[in-house]
Structure 1
Amino acid sequence: MSDDEKAVKIPAQAEGPTQGATLTKDPAPGEVLLKVTGLQKHFPIKKGLLQRQVGAVHAVDGIDFEVRSGETLGVVGESGCGKSTMGRLITRLLEPTAGKVEFQGKDITHLGVGGMRPLRRDVQMIFQDPYSSLNPRHTIGTIVGAPFKLQGVEPEGGIKKEVQRLLSVVGLNPEHYNRYPHEFSGGQRQRIGIARALALNPKLVVADEPVSALDVSIQAQVVNLLDDLQQELGLTYVIIAHDLSVVRHVSDRIAVMYLGKIVELADRDLLYKSPMHPYTKALMSAVPIPDPRRKNAKSERILLKGDVPSPISPPSGCRFHTRCWKATQVCKTTEPVLVELRTGQQVACHHPENFEDQAPQDTVLLTVAKEAAELVADEVLAESAETSAAVAAEVAAEAAAEAVVTAETAEPVVTAEPIETAEATGDAETAGEAAPDASGDDAPDASGDDAPAKEK
């Protein structure tokens, strides 16, 4: 099958019987497709006969990021950090408490059902559980063909032919059109979910842990399928996962979430090579290293103290300060802002790893930090301190070099007059005058109208 045959092109059904229109193509690669600003979702907690609100679960508590066309943004974090809620907010399956979601420059935060219906063609979601996301009473032909009927789209050649082509694209037998979900394995069911998401040729696909419920061998097949479809159809992905190996394979950029916040957002290679946030470093240290030569791999692992705080009453300041081995008073009182400390790498931390300390004046560790440091190997702590000191020295050296360059650049302007005076001094010596007199207030006269007269 050629690439042209694999491409999913679906003409939209127009209102008139003879008119037709085609879905718009994806924006140019590199353009901002999705922009999220200050997004929040608080689930209310109600009690009593009158169901009065007594609190709220801060599932997502103010996140900002952008997704560009053609890229894959991976979102990682431990269970309960708000990853799946964020995905449902982006696709507007949940109503946000606050913040803004923009898709192709249009604010879709509070669009109603009618306003969201056309947008459903461009934004689709692949759900986590392939067993519960498919209706067991429907055939896969009905499941994959449902988006066409809901959107009023009549594909060329009919719905059945298009569904069979989609099944072929995701690696399933088109002849299984009339089978039911229970007749397929977990990996095949996930492929059915992917085919359903691709039915209307979307621009953005949000995949909520698409391989977490699958065997390792099946995971590789689904991940490779997603990668191939992105290359062929120009898709943009937001892939939510907790498997760091999978995220590293498929992502261009990675966002790390902790307790409803994005604590680090960076290019893939930068994040894995030199993570800045202590929580990110702890996550990376938990990845198994299948190398028998790395005998010290276990000692390099960072164990975090205690459990994740409750999202009902998150800690003040930095959310991670109750488990961090570098926490000081500023971490407890002031919430760090997500800022770009290095090109392509943003972090929300007062005392980042692999970079200059952002609060060097605050050096007294909290009691919880001292207790957390007991679980961290001395080699890791020493390496962290050495790296921070080295980066600080490097930053200071760069600042000094910039100051020297600035001074050298400004020097010709400052010494322009003395240079002219020196030239005048030479003319004066030729005329038989003393150098000190030529370098004084008479220097301009020596280079002025009197000089030709003396030479004459």
Structure 2
Amino acid sequence: MSIPAQSGDAEAAASGTAVLAEGAASGETLLKVTGLKKHFPIKKGLFQRQVGAVHAVDGIDFEVKAGETLGVVGESGCGKSTMGRLITRLLEPTAGTIEFEGRDITHLGVAGMRPMRRDVQMIFQDPYSSLNPRHTIGTIVGAPFRLQGVEPEGGVKKEVQRLLSVVGLNPEHYNRYPHEFSGGQRQRIGIARALALNPKLVVADEPVSALDVSIQAQVVNLLDDLQEELGLTYVIIAHDLSVVRHVSDRIAVMYLGKIVELADRESLYRTPMHPYTRALMSAVPIPDPKRKNEKSERILLKGDVPSPISPPSGCRFHTRCWKATQICKTTEPQLVELKPGQRVACHHPENFADQAPQDTVLLSAAKEASELVPDAVVSGGPSDGEPASDGTPAPAKAPAAEKAPVAEKVPAVEEATAAAEAVEEAKEAKEATAAADGEPVAGKAPAAEEAAAAVEAAKEAKAVKEGASAGSSVEPEGSDGTGTAATDSQESTGK
């Protein structure tokens, strides 16, 4: 998509490109966030005493280089929009620091932030509610000039008409009202307002989520073209992974107020390391009719996102993760760089060596979650023992099972109990059928035989358990070890 060149636009584009080239060459950090937190208090009673807090953003760290685009993704309610309002200082942080061009702007007042507003602007999520319906488009787009006391060359009206043409609108729309425009046109008006003072950083809070799919592509292409021409730096907040992949240089994945993975675009989409990132990637539909009958590796996360009022201890994703162990419940993982340019907060990352190999006993929640995860995903993507696509050796699954306590890994006793219960249910169903047909109910002898078979199955399971405790290695389910023994016991019980 090409943007028509207007009078004065070429000079602005040239100056913006020069600033971008200079910042990129020097590796300048435009925005730096350290330990950022925002807790919204919960008050009750006549005296409005605080009884708790919503941990919307709970300690995040990242940097944004000049001229790059940082994408932020995550589920609804994970704190993305709150983070965007914090770095533009529309909200007061609870803790942490925000540095813009090396200057601490964390607690600047209204007077101190006024000159900074020229360099930091925001595109809001809803194009319908972010524009005042009582004001004309000329008044809305020209508001930054009046608030900052800036008189552009040629007057405010001429500059507003130029901005409208830059974003693909007709300059003659200057005197129209927002209700006369479609959703995509309103979003373009919001973009024109954000670009009025030629900012250095633009925070776009889901700029295309409220738009039709055909309009989304136009707005995304517009943002790309404006970045090239004006040398802008973007922080784009979205939940559409396809949009984020198209426009971002680096991507941060948020979950319940925390950044769980931060990596460049290619590394994140090729070899995601955090289980939550992998679950998000599996949810992206593939628009290929030829693959409609192929088996999907869609990961279904069990349960809902925990409440930010009382987030879980340790890793906040452990209540829904299929790899969670005891260390995930007790110790919070730090966001560390496991590969160049890829930082992950996980004790058991995907596509990389296990960071806590001594802890392999799955939590009960992890056992339930693993039932909803395809086998190819549980095995870690590539086959066990084979290197990943980026050359990183994938950890084998069998040694982890060998290190686990036998009492946790041998399911034969549980399966034998389940077999006995199934026999009892079958007996009751048989008796009910016989009573319905008017036939005499069988005596107690078959029930005694079935109970004896269940006892024998339990003894066999106990023998397997004792043999494994004596030193034999436990094999995963489905191999010729305990899984087969339990299956044979169940079959013999059924007979």
Give the structure-2-normalised TM-score.
0.75
Separation of aligned partners in 2, 1:4 and 1:78: 43
Q: How far did residue 293 of structure 1 move? A: 3.4
1:452 aligns with none
Three-state SS of the structure 1 residue aligned to 2:70 is strand
Separation of aligned partners in 2, 1:377 and 1:39: 36
Separation of aligned partners in 1, 2:258 and 2:77: 11
1:427 aligns with none
CA 1:353 to 1:57, structure 2 compared with 1: closer, same or farther past 3 Å? Answer: same
CA 1:355 to 1:326, structure 2 compared with 1: closer, same or farther past 3 Å? Answer: same
Contact 1:316 / 1:335 at 8 angstroms: preserved in 2? yes
1:76 aligns with 73
Contact 1:209 / 1:240 at 8 angstroms: preserved in 2? yes
Separation of aligned partners in 2, 1:166 and 1:298: 49
For residues 329-408 of structure 1, what are the structure 2 equivalents within 5 Å?
329-384=326-381, 386=383, 390=387, 394=393
2:29 aligns with 32
Contact 2:386 / 2:394 at 8 angstroms: preserved in 1? no
1:203 to 200, 203, 210: 200
Give the structure-1-normalised TM-score.
0.81
**Structure 1 residue 6 and structure 2 residue 12: aligned?**
no
Three-state SS of the structure 2 residue aligned to 1:358 is coil
1:213 aligns with 210
Cα deviations by residue, 1:52-90 (Å, 9 ceiling, x for unpaired): 000000000000000000000000001000000000000
1:58 aligns with 55
Identical positions, percent: 83
Q: How far did residue 390 of structure 1 move? A: 4.0
**Structure 1 residue 46 and structure 2 residue 49: aligned?**
no
Separation of aligned partners in 2, 1:88 and 1:388: 45
2:132 to 126, 135, 154: 135
In structure 1, runs of 5+ residues without a counterpart are 11-21, 397-456
For residues 20-419 of structure 1, what are the structure 2 equivalents within 5 Å?
28-29=23-24, 30-295=27-292, 299-384=296-381, 386=383, 390=387, 394=393
Q: How far did residue 384 of structure 1 move? A: 3.9
Separation of aligned partners in 2, 1:89 and 1:222: 24
Three-state SS of the structure 1 residue aligned to 2:289 is coil
Q: How far did residue 394 of structure 1 move? A: 3.9
Q: How far did residue 377 of structure 1 move? A: 1.2
Three-state SS of the structure 2 residue aligned to 1:223 is helix
Separation of aligned partners in 2, 1:105 and 1:297: 52
Contact 1:356 / 1:389 at 8 angstroms: preserved in 2? no
Kindly provide the amino acid, as one letter, of the partner of residue 214 in structure 1.
L
Separation of aligned partners in 2, 1:298 and 1:96: 46
The CA RMSD measured in Å over matched residues stands at 2.1
1:432 aligns with none
Separation of aligned partners in 2, 1:181 and 1:360: 58
Separation of aligned partners in 1, 2:288 and 2:170: 39
How many residues get paired?
Answer: 384
Contact 2:35 / 2:61 at 8 angstroms: preserved in 1? yes
Separation of aligned partners in 2, 1:322 and 1:395: 25
CA 1:379 to 1:159, structure 2 compared with 1: closer, same or farther past 3 Å? Answer: same
CA 1:7 to 1:61, structure 2 compared with 1: closer, same or farther past 3 Å? Answer: farther
Q: How far did residue 292 of structure 1 move? A: 3.0
Q: How far did residue 245 of structure 1 move? A: 0.5
Separation of aligned partners in 1, 2:370 and 2:81: 31
Three-state SS of the structure 1 residue aligned to 2:31 is strand
Cα deviations by residue, 1:221-252 (Å, 9 ceiling, x for unpaired): 00000000000000000000000000000000
Q: How far did residue 378 of structure 1 move? A: 1.6
Kindly provide the amino acid, as one letter, of the partner of residue 140 in structure 2.
I
CA 1:66 to 1:393, structure 2 compared with 1: closer, same or farther past 3 Å? Answer: closer
Kindly provide the amino acid, as one letter, of the partner of residue 363 in structure 2.
L
Contact 2:70 / 2:249 at 8 angstroms: preserved in 1? yes
CA 1:218 to 1:142, structure 2 compared with 1: closer, same or farther past 3 Å? Answer: same
Q: How far did residue 153 of structure 1 move? A: 0.3
CA 1:191 to 1:96, structure 2 compared with 1: closer, same or farther past 3 Å? Answer: same
CA 1:393 to 1:263, structure 2 compared with 1: closer, same or farther past 3 Å? Answer: closer
Contact 1:75 / 1:83 at 8 angstroms: preserved in 2? yes
Separation of aligned partners in 1, 2:66 and 2:104: 17
Q: How far did residue 379 of structure 1 move? A: 2.4
Separation of aligned partners in 2, 1:234 and 1:393: 36
Separation of aligned partners in 2, 1:311 and 1:387: 36
2:404 aligns with none
Contact 2:209 / 2:238 at 8 angstroms: preserved in 1? yes
Three-state SS of the structure 1 residue aligned to 2:58 is strand
Kindly provide the amino acid, as one letter, of the partner of residue 347 in structure 1.
V
CA 1:347 to 1:7, structure 2 compared with 1: closer, same or farther past 3 Å? Answer: farther
Separation of aligned partners in 2, 1:186 and 1:216: 11
Contact 1:8 / 1:233 at 8 angstroms: preserved in 2? no
Kindly provide the amino acid, as one letter, of the partner of residue 275 in structure 1.
P
Separation of aligned partners in 2, 1:359 and 1:268: 27
